[in-house]
Amino acid sequence: MAETMVEAPAADVSFINEVCAIPGGESINSCIQCGVCTGSCPTANQWDYPPRRVIAMVRAGLRDELLSSNSMWFCVSCYSCTVRCPRDIKPADIMHALEIIAIRSGKSTKQSNTPIMYRCFVDSARSNGRVYELGMMIKLFLKTNPLAALKLAPVGLGLFLHKRLPLKPSRIKGMSGLKAILNKARELGGAK
């Protein structure tokens, strides 16, 4: 009886190429799946898929599962993984690359408020040239959880009373130049 040969499905390389195309993402091919990144991560217990598995999923082409997970949004950019990786991969940079791809493809998860916070921060930086912390925080809480804002009111009040929460944004003089720079960057392949 002839043996039936089952061909392994070809791995989808388009996802890994997408990650490699973002500065910092290109090191992913050297991963040996040792797990030092996961063992070093201070928030790994919160991730749907911990760092080592995230890298394995990129290589397996599991794009939708990964991009709609909360995983990379829990990366605190502490770079413990990055300095410990025996293959000189930069897992934190890979997480940033995945965040960029998730936002670009509209897949960002509802299980984490971090993408909304990032968006509020970027909007604030873009509109004044400097981040207006109070305005950004108010916007974030209105968009996510107004009740959490109430819980945090004492922290905000404490900062305000200690003269650490200005009520007015600071705006740079060269705003039109900065806008031109950012618009050009977007036109050249920036993500919307």
Residue ranges in contact with other proteins by CB under 8 A: 22-24, 42-43, 46, 74, 76-80, 82-83, 90, 92, 95-97, 99-100, 103, 112-114, 116-119, 121-122, 125, 129-131, 133-134, 137, 140, 144, 148, 152, 154-155, 158-159, 162-166, 170, 172-174, 177-178, 180-186, 188-191
In whole angstroms, the minimum distance from the beta carbon of 89 to other proteins comes to: 11
Helix axes 13-20, 51-59, angle to 10 degrees: 120
Task: For the chain, report the end-to-end CA distance as a whole number of angstroms.
Answer: 57
Nearer CB in complex with other proteins: 35/190: 190
Q: Which amino acid is at 175?
A: M
Comparing CA positions, the residue from 30, 39, 31, 27 lying closest to residue 94 is 27
Return the number of the residue (63 or 90) whose C-beta is nearest other proteins. 90
CB of 104: closest distance to other proteins in angstroms?
Answer: 8
Other CB atoms within 10 Å distance of the CB of residue 70:
18
Minimum distance of other proteins from residue 94's CB (angstroms)? 11
Distances (CA, A) of 171 to 129, 132, 174: 6, 9, 9
